[in-house]
Structure 1
Amino acid sequence: MSVVRLGQWLSLSQVSPDIVLAQFKELQRQVPLLYALLAVNSVAVAYSHFDVAPGWMTLAIPALLISASLARLLVWLKRRGRQVDATAALRQLRLTIALAVLLALAYVCWALGLTAYGGPYEQAHVAVFVAVTVIGCIFCLMHLPQAALIVTAAVFLPFLTFYLLQGHPVFVSISLNVGLVALVMLQVLFNSFRGFREVIVSRGEMERLSCENLRLAHTDALVGLPNRRHFFSELEQRVEKAAADGRPLVVGTLDLDRFKAVNDTYGHLLGDKLLEQVGERLRTAGGEGVLVARLGGDEFGFLIDADEGTARSIAERLCHAIALPFDLDGISAEIGASCGAAVFPDGGTTAHELFDHADYALYHSKSQRRGTATFYSAEHETQIKSERAIESALRTANLDGEMDLHLQPVVDGQTGRVVAVEALARWQSPALGNIRPDIFITVAERTGLIQNVTLVLLGKALSLLERLPPELKLSFNLSTHDVTNSATMIALTALVRRRNIDPSRLIIELTETAIMRDFEMAQRSIQLLRSLGVEIALDDFGTGYSSLNYLNRLSVDKVKVDRSFVHGCDTEQGLNILRSILALCSSMGLNCIVEGVEEAEQLTILRDLGYRDFQGFLFGRPMPIDELANWLDARDDFSAEAEQSPDRAVRGSTGHF
């Protein structure tokens, strides 16, 4: 071993933190025994020389040595069981080596000094004292071999030299025997320490592997973020800390917008690459102290230890980061993200409440403020209570007796003829009164009751179709969950086949959102419906995610332009959008129906653009079938004039409402 390596070994500079901590832990139990041994043996030697040696050798010096030993013993006793870091432990080990050498030299010099007094028994006691001290030091310092070696050398070398110079054969033999025993014990100590070190290294490696396995078990393999298991485990812990310490905590959920469209268009491989980039952006945008996790699919969660103002800024930053274009092997993809968040304790006091309320706020964002962050509020609490009451009423409702359909006409704006009616659901609950369809349909979708509602309403729609004039068609809306549920579609087609109607008079309306939720399933549903002879209309056109590629792949017969475009028809931008929609549909041979026409001026603009079929309050509000029949009879008075003056026919139709 070179001098440099020896110095490194003695100074513990190459020892790993795991081994340092293990050594320190063992020495906490053993070093106090060493100092106790030295103190007791010193008292014994001083006592045996009390009558033959001067007082300063049997009282003063032993008192100093024993006081130093007892002081170090108390220091180590105070440290017993105390947790320290590797740096502090290393500092204590180095101090132990230095003090052990000083005390060893002081004890051996004092003991050898006593050999000048007394007879052979007293001298033999000194030799025994030194031998026992060496052996005791080796045993007690076996987990710090540097100290054991230096202490042995510090004791044995003066001991052997002293007796060799004296030349007494008995004491020379004793010193040589003690040295031999010490060397053997040192070898045993080094062997034992080697095994001890290997155990610590193996244990450390096992702990690292265990930590790595635990990390992998709590990490999403695709995006490298913490997974759902880690998120909810961390959520539970942070809620407990927030409750105990009064710390701020915000729980959030984030859902990607338009991700499925990209995934379906370009395939799962690029979809996975997109998720990887999303994960990296969320990690960067979240910053230090924000836990972002992938909960599954295109849903993510985040935890922020901050007040609502700071958390709101971070949540908006996350949404903005996802809204920027992504480069996927040369393909530019644009998606978005909507956030929902709940603040402890106003938004919930348990992990379940906070996450559930954050998820509700996310639902609110996606339905009303897509691409932004919504924080759970008292208003949402009222909505939840209302929705729970609606859910309870819906579960126990007599759907056939409580639900009905109102019919709204679709009019040919050129001739004034009614060409179709749209069936719109109505629910009059005995407990809650009249409930808007957008509310109870949403609740039915969220609670899995939508299939029953759809089939009951479709049965009523088919019965109404039998009562309508044969030239009229009837439109019926399917929800997002209906279109993507194979069981619902099978039950729906079976219901249509059982009824004595001409399927070509039935128009099924699907929203872009429903189609984009599961495009492949939506395609199969459309093909199944068209096999019956049913027409397909794409509802709320322009508000969803449709592209030319999707529209070209869908077997639809007509599109219904959303009412939001009608409200902007008096602006240049609005006119350009309406022209583009009409040109697109005309090029694909699709009929256009404009929804939400409420004013004659709007009708004039839309007809001048080239639109023909319209639906809205200008022509007629949704009404029961009996009222519709009267309304149709009244319109017959204008039928002769409709061919000559569509404007008069339109004006006449509005006079009944």
Structure 2
Amino acid sequence: MASVRSSSTANVQADLTQSSVGEIYRPILRGYFVVYALYYSLMVVLNWLSMEINRDFLMLETATVLATLYALAGSWMMRKSQPDIATQALLLGMNLLVICNVWIALTIDFRPEKLTYFIIMSMLFALASPSFRQSIVAIALSLGAMVSFADRLDSATLSAFGFLSFAAAMSSLAIAFYLRKAITRIALANNQARAELSEAMALSAEMRDQSLSDSLTKLPNRRAFFEALGRVVSAYDEQLPENSAREDQTWLVLLDLDGFKAVNDVHGHKAGDLLLQAISERLSEFAKEGAHISRMGGDEFNMILTGIADEEELYDRCSALLLELAAPYYIEGRQVRVSCSAGCVQFDPAQPSEAQISNADYALMVAKKQGKNQTVIFDREHENEAKVRLEIETALRGANLADELSIVFQPQVRLGDNAVVGAEVLARWTSPAVGTIAPDRFIRIAEESGLVTNITLVVVEKALAEVKDWSAKLPISINLSAHDLMSDPVIEQIIGLIDESGVGSSMFEFEVTETAMMGDIQKATANLVRLAQAGFSIALDDFGSGYSNFSYLRSLPIARLKVDRSFIDDPTDPMAEKVLSSLVGMARVLGVKCLVEGVEDEFSLLMAKRAGAEHVQGYLFSRPVSGSDMRKALEMGASMAENATGPALRA
């Protein structure tokens, strides 16, 4: 059975190769017919002008006209692919007409030197034939026509023409043979390339589908959600002005399960996974009614609802969904109950998506605080939070960042010997006006308000002041925002500050995220190259959580990839370790180092080790420490993990 299948595959491959050879020869043959059409068209005119009208003229002119028409028909037919047998028959007919024309011309006016026409024809026939058999037949016919005049030659001339004819035939056959062999190899390589390209495209499509799907629930994932949201924005941008007023509304709904952690704690992670799958089945049924639902991670789901008439319809649909999700589940023979909370915001494609998602998230938080298992629509009653946000932004705008900002360092550890090989610089802010603000909150507000570059420059200055006092040279990493990366003056200031300090550029690594570069990839790449040429190392932060486009990764001067912590957050995810290994493998292919972020327990550490990561960072080894603690640790000359003495360090 296997031999039959192998033979069938070989036959198919041979047919494809032969077909490709025919396609390569087709323009050659068409040119062959075009040349003959032009030549014999000219000969029709010359015969008319140079010959007397008699029997010989009529015979030769008829053959010439036939050859002209046949050549025109052949050039027309060779515009498209023809079956091999049709092509060979067409070519044989042309060759016979050419031989016939020469034979008639020599019969009318014989001169020995004109016999070279047959020799030239035999060479042309051999080179223009797509098959060796065709070449043999054409040469035989040409030389046969020449031999018909042998009785008009003396023995010496006949011998000379015989030798010349044989040499010409052999050389032309040899050239034609190797030409066809080369063309056959090209055709075979072309077929293989097409097959490989087809397989690669199919694999790419499959991988893209997988990249947009959550491995556990089979729902669309985070990336798919943002792509769907992008399509909503694009559809809005493409609307004609007269159609810009839409009656139907689009809503963002953030869903979070109530009581899911208890299921995991009581029944185990396997039961939790089965519960998520059961919940996802109910969500999939709901999605059939005009909703896009994505699993964002853990027990969080995002939903895009379109075609909603008003808030009342939205509330009714969400309430019906929450009622359906709250119905009992039967997991491993046990009845399990969970509920779900929903935070909603009407989506305006003309406004930044991030802010609207944040508003929906705030509404979800309110739903949780109000008792869970309910729907909250973001409205004017929630403006108090916006007021607080404005207070923070106002405080940032008037802040003396040099006095109010401080920095801490989170060690980066090399697996194997637990040696501290670097540290990430993190900003902390305590404002006299609004107090101590969480880093992720004030950094996010600073980025959205365009104030983050001021923070970056102060962080660089403070990091330089700390590094100067360290006894050992330890590279430090500083985060650059999208605003920093797109600003030439900021990049110039950063380079200038470090140059003036006297601290070597090799001591600094700048971290950027994939999303920070998406606004203007060319601009971002140019500034990254500029930093790299100045001697700074570049790291790609949160790797895997964004686009992870291999083509642009190769064009960036990246020295290290920092894998996003989301890939080790859930060690029970059957695909998590495979994806993590793939990302670490991609770093290895790119020839760069790899660090795994968010290593906060032994499970995370085990996953990082098994994936082959070189460096890790996280609370398992050390919380962020002050500059003085870092300096003391370096003075001890041992690994941070082995000599942790403070509460922030791992004992």
Structure with bigger gyration radius: 1
Instruction: Provide TM-score, normalisation by structure 1.
Output: 0.45
Instruction: Provide TM-score, normalisation by structure 2.
Output: 0.45
